[in-house]
Structure 1
Amino acid sequence: MRKSGVAEKYFRVVQDMYDRSRTVMRCAVGQTEEFKVEMGLHQGSALSPFLFAMVMDQLSEEVRQESPWTMMFADDIVICSESREQVEENLERWRFALERRGMKVSGSKTEYMCVNEREGSGTVRLQGEEVKKVQEFKYLGSTVQSNGECGKEVKKRVQAGWNGWRKVTGVLCDRKISARIKGKVYRTVVRPAMLYGLETVSLRKRQESELEVAELKMLRFSLGVTRLDRIRNEYIRGTAHVGRLGDKVREARLRWFGNVQRRE
């Protein structure tokens, strides 16, 4: 905390919170006797994520590179390189830097993925052990594919939207509730689940259409309208006061681009 420039008075407050702290463990048969907490952070504390991020920032200072070559969220780290040799070199640097400070890189949880692979077959090793190669991985809720496509992520966004829709069917399918209120609930609960992370995804027209079709199905169910009623999509959206999902994605993309530009 001192290295990060935190005021001494705040450092002492945090130190007092952890100094000589004791806790108990609760289990099915009751709880244990009190014991000392000599390392780690208070679970559930609002301050703990901030302290952990500060610790990781200091521990990784000498090996961390600028985004996008290194991305960190708590202890989830993504290392990007242009070759397998560079990946192995960076992995070893991270392992050495963390282990000499009491932390450990988990070999079983470490995976690597090649994007637009041109080098042919090959392996990545960490301390002599082969690292598992995958065709996709999930990071911060988003699925990244080795071929650069986003089809699986779109399908997961559609599924997340339906999951959110089912949670509020008691409101969305209630005929006593106005279409305006239903639209507001939909925009608040369902649509954010469908849009999560899409501002960084390069959607094709087919994938955007897939999202639009799913959304219109939800809106039609909510308003008690079927295709046999031959009501145009624009009227459905206007009744629920819900704009086109594609426009919302482009709006989020421009907002994200603006944030990136301001950071630079």
Structure 2
Amino acid sequence: MREADIDGMGISIGGRNLTNLRYADDTALIADNVTSMKRILNRVDIAGRKASLKLNAKKTKVRHINDTNNPANDIKEDNSKLEYVQCFKYLGSVKENNGSCSKDVRTRIGIAKQKTIELNNIWKDRGILTTLKMAILKCLVWPVVLYGCEAWTLKQEQNRIHAIEMWLHGRLLRVSWKEKRNNDKCDIGYYGDGCIKSCSDHCAGKNNSCNHINGTCDLGCVPGYQGTLCTQAKLSTVFNTTICFKLQKMGFPTHLISLISNLYTNQSATIRWNGEHSGHFHINKGVRQGCILSPHLFSIYTEQVMREADIDGIGISIGGRNLTNLRYADDTALIADNVTSMKRILNRVDIAGRKASLKLNAKKTKVMYINDTNNTANDIKVDNSKLEYVQCFKYLGSLKENNGSCSKDVRTIIDMAKQKTIESNNIWKDMGIPTTLKMAILKRLVWPVVLYGCEAWTLKQEEQNRIHATEMWLYRRLLRVSWKEKRTNDSILKELGVTRKLLSEIHKRRLRYTDHAIRNTKTDLMKPVLQGKFAGKKGKGRPPTTLIDNIEKSSGLSLHQISQRSRDRNKWRAVVMSAGDPIDEHGDGYK
């Protein structure tokens, strides 16, 4: 647009010349007469072709404001006459040449009605409370009507808006036009316990029985009472019966189960492959792909499966509480204190899972013995398949070793960080990018890879040396310093104007997580795990370095002092900010 040089050809608004309005590739050119519009179109077309952009004559329309007589047939683009229109859609709103909003209002109302009809399964469901239906109406349908309303100039359109509101309420209550009911009677009003004043869903006999059972009078219906009966018959055909049953056993309200079932009614999907779409097909099993509710439904489903497996008391004791499993989505870790207990847990979980149409994958299931490298675990089977014994496995992106060490995880993370740095070589080689910006890119792209899961690391001197060496390797890669130059670490840090901070950042993140674990009141499991309060005897020999040892060394406080300081967030924040590694601050010992 700047190269087109169209300034001064548009219209004047508040002393400022306006020639175009743009949002992404939706552009509106503005002029005060036909001649100016031709010049603007010509210059924009020439400048666009130079930039490999071409105006689409079929999609380009011409509209004369307050001039319906001018057909605008003399305005052309690429020897094609542009179509003259009295209104067009811009950013989802219909714009008329007389400035009216009547067509836009009618269009929004039509879309809102279509959306309401698509939700008929919800309005028809007697198991969903009217209050919840009203909330759904306001969340899903009202935004359709209100889109772009800030720019409306309303006249007679107000009557249309009043009418559509009453139509929506009538649709929600399933009131037919044949009933000839007054709008005042269709207004949704409430008595106690979610009962509504009027409803056409129930006959007089059902109303009387509802009133008698619930001890109420002059009520149209009691949705909570009727909903249970309607939902039981409906969920078996519309919603996955197993999921419905699990939700009911977990104690979820009937109206919420009914609402979820309506989301799964007649759901269909299509497959896109190489730009082509297959035909639509119905989905009869599983949760909706891409739905934000799906992970929660799956978590609820697996939670109920674990409850039905009845494995409480078979696991290990931590802080007086029994722990049998750890779950995140479909990544499940079963825990037991001996082989016999593990067999029982696996057997019960397998049986409960098969009843819920879930099957354990023997190929992906691994067995790891903590502090017992001699046991091969070949006698543990699932579905007549021996489970593989491993000394470490990856859980939630981190490597867990059977001796509690984090050395393999640190090495793996360092390798990933180096690979990420090599992939960004074009940035480090670019002489046009300032070093300060390269440092910012390094901290945003590579440091998060190194720091992933560092809060749970129990670092020994060997791992700390690796982290120091990795940080200096990253800095040398950024400056393109070869090992052949034999430059000292101090010279690299001096050129960048920084000190080593990677290990200090690990200490600070670990202290922040410690504060979160100690002050967390939602679960009583995090603090005992952090303190290492496990049942049983300790092994012979020197006790290994623990996480709490690292925390005490980083903060310079004892465990009791840490518990006291963490109660005051300001004091603990000061502890975190003062934490660091001596080598990071001074650089001693790593020239």
TM-score exceeds 0.5: yes
**Aligned residue in 1 for 2:198:** none
Does residue 15 of structure 1 match 2:261? yes
Identify the match of residue 83 of structure 1 among 331, 338, 342. Answer: 338
Which of 59-68 and 111-120 deviates more? Answer: 59-68
Identify the match of residue 466 of structure 2 among 193, 210, 227. Answer: 210
Residues in 1 aligned to 2:418 and 2:302: alpha-carbon distance in whole angstroms: 37
Residues in 2 aligned to 1:164 and 1:220: alpha-carbon distance in whole angstroms: 15
- The AA in structure 1 aligned to 2:430 is D
- The AA in structure 1 aligned to 2:517 is V
Deviations 1:52-71 (A, max 9, x none): 22222232234466786411
Deviations 1:82-136 (A, max 9, x none): 1111111111121122212221112222110111117745532335432221122
Which of 2-11 and 135-144 deviates more? Answer: 2-11
Change beyond 3 A, Cα 1:33–1:235: closer
Which of 45-54 and 157-166 deviates more? Answer: 45-54
RMSD over equivalenced CA pairs, Å: 2.9
Identify the match of residue 58 of structure 1 among 292, 304, 317. Answer: 304
**Aligned residue in 2 for 1:250:** 507
Change beyond 3 A, Cα 1:5–1:189: farther
2:369–2:402 CA contact under 8 A, matched in 1? yes
1:237–1:243 CA contact under 8 A, matched in 2? no
Change beyond 3 A, Cα 1:179–1:152: same
Q: Paired residues, what number?
A: 264
- The AA in structure 1 aligned to 2:334 is I
1:150–1:202 CA contact under 8 A, matched in 2? yes
Greater Cα radius of gyration, structure 1 or 2: 2
Deviation, 1:204, is 1.4
2:326 match: secondary structure: strand
Residues in 2 aligned to 1:262 and 1:114: alpha-carbon distance in whole angstroms: 32
1:60 match: secondary structure: helix
For residues 194-209 of structure 1, what are the structure 2 equivalents within 5 Å? Answer: 194-209=450-465
Deviation, 1:25, is 3.3
Deviation, 1:27, is 4.5
Does residue 261 of structure 1 match 2:518? yes
1:108 match: secondary structure: coil
When the two structures are superposed, what TM-score results if normalisation uses the length of structure 2?
0.41
For residues 111-126 of structure 1, what are the structure 2 equivalents within 5 Å? Answer: 111-117=366-372, 120=375, 122=377, 123-126=379-382
Does residue 40 of structure 1 match 2:295? no
**Aligned residue in 1 for 2:189:** none
**Aligned residue in 2 for 1:72:** 327
Deviation, 1:155, is 1.5
2:438–2:478 CA contact under 8 A, matched in 1? yes
Deviation, 1:26, is 3.9
Residues in 1 aligned to 2:322 and 2:423: alpha-carbon distance in whole angstroms: 37
Which of 201-210 and 240-249 deviates more? Answer: 240-249
For residues 139-158 of structure 1, what are the structure 2 equivalents within 5 Å? Answer: 139-158=395-414
- The AA in structure 2 aligned to 1:251 is K
1:212 match: secondary structure: helix
Residues in 2 aligned to 1:174 and 1:59: alpha-carbon distance in whole angstroms: 55
2:471–2:500 CA contact under 8 A, matched in 1? no
Which of 184-193 and 205-214 deviates more? Answer: 205-214
Mark the runs of 5 or more structure 2 residues left unpaired by the alignment.
1-246, 313-320, 525-591
Deviations 1:9-58 (A, max 9, x none): 65555332211112233456955432221111222333322322222223
Deviation, 1:163, is 2.2
1:78 match: secondary structure: strand
- The AA in structure 2 aligned to 1:104 is K
Identify the match of residue 181 of structure 1 among 437, 441, 444. Answer: 437
2:429–2:480 CA contact under 8 A, matched in 1? yes
1:60–1:97 CA contact under 8 A, matched in 2? yes
Does residue 107 of structure 1 match 2:362? yes
Deviation, 1:242, is 6.4
Residues in 1 aligned to 2:476 and 2:294: alpha-carbon distance in whole angstroms: 44
Structure having greater relative contact order (Cα 8 Å, sep ≥ 6): 1
Which of 61-70 and 249-258 deviates more? Answer: 61-70
Residues in 2 aligned to 1:148 and 1:51: alpha-carbon distance in whole angstroms: 33
- The AA in structure 1 aligned to 2:297 is L
Which of 163-172 and 95-104 deviates more? Answer: 163-172
Which of 217-226 and 94-103 deviates more? Answer: 217-226
Which of 119-128 and 246-255 deviates more? Answer: 119-128
1:183–1:240 CA contact under 8 A, matched in 2? no
1:64–1:70 CA contact under 8 A, matched in 2? no
Deviation, 1:196, is 0.8
Identify the match of residue 448 of structure 2 among 192, 195, 200. Answer: 192
Deviations 1:113-170 (A, max 9, x none): 1111177455323354322211221111111122333222111111111122233333
Deviations 1:177-230 (A, max 9, x none): 222212211111101101111221212111121122122111122124456374
**Aligned residue in 2 for 1:171:** 427
Residues in 1 aligned to 2:345 and 2:463: alpha-carbon distance in whole angstroms: 35
Residues in 1 aligned to 2:476 and 2:322: alpha-carbon distance in whole angstroms: 42
When the two structures are superposed, what TM-score results if normalisation uses the length of structure 1?
0.85
Change beyond 3 A, Cα 1:229–1:118: closer
Does residue 92 of structure 1 match 2:347? yes
- The AA in structure 2 aligned to 1:129 is S
2:358 match: secondary structure: coil
1:95–1:105 CA contact under 8 A, matched in 2? yes
1:183–1:242 CA contact under 8 A, matched in 2? no
2:446 match: secondary structure: helix
